[in-house]
Amino acid sequence: MPYHHRELSITADPLELAAALVESPLGAGAHVVYERDGCWSVALGTLAEVEATPTTVVSRVPDGTESAGHPSVTRSTTWTDSPLPTVSAALAGLPVPEWRAYGWAGFELAYVHAGMPELVADQRLLHLVVPRTEVRLTAGHATIRSATTDELEAVTNVLTGHQPTVRKAPEPLDVTGADPEGYRAAVRAAVDDIRSRRLQKVILSRVLPVPHDVDLVGTYLAGRRANTPTRSFLLGVGGLHAAGFSPEIVVSVGSDRRVVTQPLAGTRALEADGRDAARRADLLSDAKEIFEHAISVKVAYDEMLPLCTPDSVVVREFMDVKERGSVQHLASAVTGRLADRVDPWDAFAALFPAVTASGVPKPAAYQVIHQREPQPRGLYSGAVVTADHTGAIDAALVLRTLFRRGDRTWLQAGAGIVEQSVPEREFEETCEKLRSVARHLVPAV
């Protein structure tokens, strides 16, 4: 089923246009906005989809017609060891020329990779959609492709007739509530686990409920204007909704098979109050933060080595400081070139989840996270993913994100726990991170 294409000049802000497309009738079903390097990709509707559960991979593909109905051919395959090879095969077999998929992978996908299926509840692990309509927006230009000419015209009308939407002003949410003593107790227990040599590092998170209705699209607009993410996203797939400002990528594989991961670990507040330079200097000299960062980079480096051609794996920009909204982080990049025998999804499997959102070693960290956190993480610290027919994959780490499922809305943030961790400081670090989103919550009309 080929797409219909159109190139279009635009004058409005690409961020505003991406939001307008999601709020149009075309965005009523599945939708994903994914920002990367000054380009907003907008996926609307479902032409095909692939889901992974704890036992099967289910794919739904079009029947070859241009009808506006749902995909009609369903295939279900039981997987063993990992669902990702089956996901890769299902995508490769799609009857859609030059397909591109958008969606998410939940944190608990890591448990099955580690041979710990007993930690996985009855939940989706991954959900990818190939959209009926895809729009790529950059300054002054839009590229549109759609399954039908009617949808192509509908997108054109939204882009050329856009008028800014009037929204309420953001109302900040207090981030210091939500059982602070329970979080501090979990940190103390994790420090004891580390001192007993059960592991070296673990990231523990806490959930902050949002007690009122939120304009998710408005929050995405306000939060994106205030943040400096490496990726941003606005997602509604399979009943799960999220608006996020990712500080780092889990993995990016180009069509040229270049692969990069970007560990960020070590945090100080970024408040524009005249003290940020001092906080930066403190961050760069703090032994606890440097150790936390260095072991994360080491794990990422070691995970890359088996994937890549000899001598291609290098660490770049070691311990740069990156500003991400309300915080500044120590950041490094680990790069390489995939060996010919390695499928890009193998790289995703090896590097997922990000070491900076799980721990060292990862399997021990999974056990501690499962034990010390009160609920499954789901999308939090998983990835929003794009993948295409060339083998390219880009996966943003899901942090600094507003989540919604059903009538429940929440924020979530964690801190890296090592032997030197102080519970009060780790709790404050979660507050610093939560403010990246909590300051920009736009009330629903």
Q: For position 264, which CATH number holds?
A: 3.60.120.10
- What value does the mean pLDDT of the chain take? 94
CA distance 134 to 136: 7
CA distance 220 to 197: 41
Section 248-263 average pLDDT: 96
Checking if the pLDDT of 177 tops 90, the result is no
AA identity, residue 284: L
Q: Cβ(387)–Cβ(261) under 8 Å?
A: no
**pLDDT attached to residue 70:** 52
Q: Cβ(431)–Cβ(175) under 8 Å?
A: yes
Q: For residue range 98-139, list pLDDT tens digits in order.
A: 999 999 999 999 999 899 999 998 889 999 999 999 999 999
**pLDDT attached to residue 121:** 85
Checking if the pLDDT of 418 tops 80, the result is yes
Q: Is residue 368 part of a domain?
A: yes
Describe the crossing of helices 149-160 and 14-23 by its angle, rounded to 10 degrees.
130
DSSP-derived 3-state class of residue 441 = coil
CA distance 19 to 312: 40
SS3 breakdown of the chain: % helix, strand, coil, rounded to 5?
30, 35, 35
CA distance 432 to 439: 11
CA distance 247 to 231: 7
Instruction: Tell me the chain's radius of gyration from C-alpha atoms.
Output: 21
* Domain, as residue range, for 372: 180-438
**pLDDT attached to residue 423:** 97
CA distance 299 to 303: 6
Section 280-300 average pLDDT: 94
**pLDDT attached to residue 208:** 97
CA distance 281 to 284: 5
- What the block records as the tokens of 259 is 């692969």
Among residues 385, 136, 352, 393, the alpha carbon closest in space to that of 256 is found at 393
**pLDDT attached to residue 62:** 76
Q: Which segments of 162-256 does DSSP mark as H helices, in order?
A: 180-195, 216-226
Under the phi-then-psi rule, with left for phi > 0, alpha for psi from -120 to 50, and beta for the rest, what region is 140? left
Checking if the pLDDT of 71 tops 90, the result is no
CA distance 300 to 306: 11
**pLDDT attached to residue 64:** 58
Checking if the pLDDT of 66 tops 70, the result is no
CA distance 91 to 390: 11
Checking if the pLDDT of 47 tops 90, the result is yes
Section 209-219 average pLDDT: 97
Say whether 51 is catalytic.
Answer: no
Q: Which of the following is catalytic: 49, 134, 248, 426? A: 248
The residues that bridge with 268 in the sheet, in sequence order, are 328
**pLDDT attached to residue 69:** 53
**pLDDT attached to residue 37:** 95
Section 279-292 average pLDDT: 94
Q: Is residue 214 part of a domain?
A: yes
Per DSSP bridges, beta strands 393-397 and 249-253 are: antiparallel
Question: How does DSSP classify residue 308?
Answer: B
CA distance 399 to 123: 20
Number of domains making up the chain: 1
The residues that bridge with 203 in the sheet, in sequence order, are 416
Q: Is residue 244 part of a domain?
A: yes
**pLDDT attached to residue 325:** 85
Q: Is residue 125 part of a domain?
A: no
Q: Is residue 14 part of a domain?
A: no
Section 296-305 average pLDDT: 96
The predicted model scores a pTM of 0.94
The CA–CA distances, whole Å, from 60 to 29, 91, 133 equal 16, 10, 17
Q: Is residue 253 part of a domain?
A: yes
DSSP-derived 3-state class of residue 347 = helix
**pLDDT attached to residue 12:** 95
Checking if the pLDDT of 67 tops 80, the result is no
Checking if the pLDDT of 326 tops 90, the result is no
Among residues 227, 239, 179, 173, the alpha carbon closest in space to that of 204 is found at 179
Section 212-226 average pLDDT: 97
Q: Is residue 150 part of a domain?
A: no
CA distance 175 to 269: 14
